Amino acid sequence: MTAPSSSGSPGRATPLLAQIWAVIALPLISILLALLVGAFVILASQLVLPGGNLDLLLPLTAYAALFQGAFGNFDALVDTLISTTPLVLGGLSVGLAFKAGLFNIGAQGQFLLGALGAVAAGVALAGAPPLVAITVALAAGILAGAFWGFIPGLLKAVSGAHEVVVTIMLNYIAIAVIAAVVGGPLRQQGRPEAITPDVGNAALPVIIGNDGHAGIALAIVAVAVVAFLLFRTTLGFEIRIVGANPDAARYAGMRPRALTILTMSIAGALAGLAGAVVVLGVTHLMTPSFGTTVGFDSIAVALLGRTNPVGIVAAAFLFGALRAGASLMQIKAGIPVELIDVLQATILLFLVANPVLRRAFRLRGVKAGLETTETITKTYAGEVAPR
């Protein structure tokens, strides 16, 4: 909690340090403040609960268990990586769309469709050679997600239908599609409950520890690909220009419509890959109630990571660690898992309220950073469809 007081000095340090500080100051302060708020919530909840005596050290116990559960040993670290993986991919999905000025709330639906596509292909190829089964199942997940991103992209391009509204609706449709497919054609015959068969040979191989699946490597590859795409290709340049100013992009000869469709499709593909990785790497099957919050957490990850691929990795790692450590926190400290939601939401709240933070901590030098918050504002303001 000492970071705020030292906030002035790094500004006078070497330019490199100052640069790093300028980038990480706001997220770091937000995280520390959120932990502080979380501690107050833990203390306050003890007072509210009947028969609870006040244990002033409980926040420390909770955070220690949280840390131990996320980084305590090799297995814990692998757990963190597993939880991080879908968030990295989902964060890239949302982040890439942000870069093009699109708010992809549909990562959740694209994730679910990707999971469904992967499980469908995986079940069909459960007995095929692993190389074939895995490749096809992953491709199916990616394509299903891309399709679910393509729809809002197309609707925005041809009719101006706002992607926020369309993707939210598509999230619900995705839930219904999953229940219908898992409860219908994909259902394991003879079983009283609706559940898909196991994906068998399409399961991702374990590459680290007991259960660290190959999806972790895939996520790293995806980060490199997206970073390359955004900053080293013409397409990435166009995406960023369209996001910054659609009109300027059009005058410069770019085609915002095509780019909108393409960006949403790639974003969908990334979220779909996230879903595929979870079913092929972790659950290996699907129930119709396949619940997840990855799609929504991805929005937070993209914001926290400032839509930058490297920042997204860092943010996803933080959220992944919170997720992985939550189990031990509940076991050892008896703190409900909802505290993790409180922490995540508070971090975001502070980030969005960054002008207040900057004034409070006199962070004049740090980057405004959240160009993404401006993107949201712009998106919500309902700018017209790119023509």
Partner 1 sequence: MRTRFPGLALLVGLAIIASACTSASSPSASAAPSAANPCAGATAHSGGTHVFPTDKTKWKIGVTTDVGTVNDKNFNEYTFNGAKQAAAALGAAVPPVVVPKDASELAKNIQGFVNQNFDIIVTAGFNNGQATTCAAHANPDIWFIGVDQGPPCVTPDGQPDGAFKCAGDAKTLLPKYVAISFQEDQAGYLAGMAAATMSKSGTLGAIGGITLCGPCVRYIQGFQLGAQKVNPNSVLKVAWVTTSDFTKAFNDPTTGKNFGAQFITQNKPDVLFQVAGKTGNGILDAACDASILGIGVDVDQALSYPNAAKCTLTSAEKKLLLATSTDIANIVAGTQKGGDDHWDAKRDGIGYSPFHDLESKIPSGLKAQLDAAFAAMKAGTLKTCPDKCGDISTLPK
Is 321 in contact with 79 (CB distance < 8 Å)?
no
Is 291 in contact with 129 (CB distance < 8 Å)?
no
- 208 to 227, contacts with partner 1 by CB under 8 A? 210-211, 213-214, 217-218, 221-222, 225
Q: Judged by CB under 8 A, which of 121, 324, 343, 370 binds partner 1?
A: 324
Residue 285 sits in the site that holds partner 1 (CB under 8 A): yes
Dist. CA 349–CA 356, nearest whole Å: 11
Dist. CA 172–CA 334, nearest whole Å: 33
Binding mask 35-54 for partner 1 (x = CB under 8 A): --------------------
Residue 293 sits in the site that holds partner 1 (CB under 8 A): yes
Dist. CA 298–CA 339, nearest whole Å: 18
Q: How far is the CB of 109 from partner 1 (least distance, A)?
A: 13
- 161 to 200, contacts with partner 1 by CB under 8 A? 172, 175-177, 179-180, 183, 188-194, 197-198, 200
Q: Judged by CB under 8 A, which of 156, 284, 306, 358 binds partner 1?
A: 284
Q: Where are the beta strands (DSSP E) in the chain?
A: 206-208, 212-213
Residue 358 sits in the site that holds partner 1 (CB under 8 A): no
Dist. CA 350–CA 186, nearest whole Å: 44
Contacts of 35 (CB under 8 A, 6+ apart): 1, 63, 343
Tokens of 235: 């397409």
For residue 194, give the DSSP letter.
Answer: -
What single letter denotes the amino acid at residue 180? A
Residue 229 sits in the site that holds partner 1 (CB under 8 A): yes
Is 144 in contact with 212 (CB distance < 8 Å)?
no
Q: Judged by CB under 8 A, which of 37, 64, 235, 352 binds partner 1?
A: 235
Residue 337 sits in the site that holds partner 1 (CB under 8 A): yes
Q: How far is the CB of 134 from partner 1 (least distance, A)?
A: 5
Binding mask 88-127 for partner 1 (x = CB under 8 A): --------------------------------------x-
Total residues contacting partner 1 (rule CB under 8 A)?
90
Residue 265 sits in the site that holds partner 1 (CB under 8 A): yes
Q: Judged by CB under 8 A, which of 94, 107, 144, 146 binds partner 1?
A: 146
Q: Judged by CB under 8 A, which of 291, 364, 381, 382 binds partner 1?
A: 291
Which stretch, 29-37, 97-105, 328-336, 371-379, contacts partner 1 (CB under 8 A)?
Answer: 328-336
Contacts of 1 (CB under 8 A, 6+ apart): 32, 35, 36
Q: Judged by CB under 8 A, which of 5, 14, 234, 377 binds partner 1?
A: 234
CB atoms near residue 184 (< 10 Å): 10
Residue 340 sits in the site that holds partner 1 (CB under 8 A): yes
Contacts of 232 (CB under 8 A, 6+ apart): none
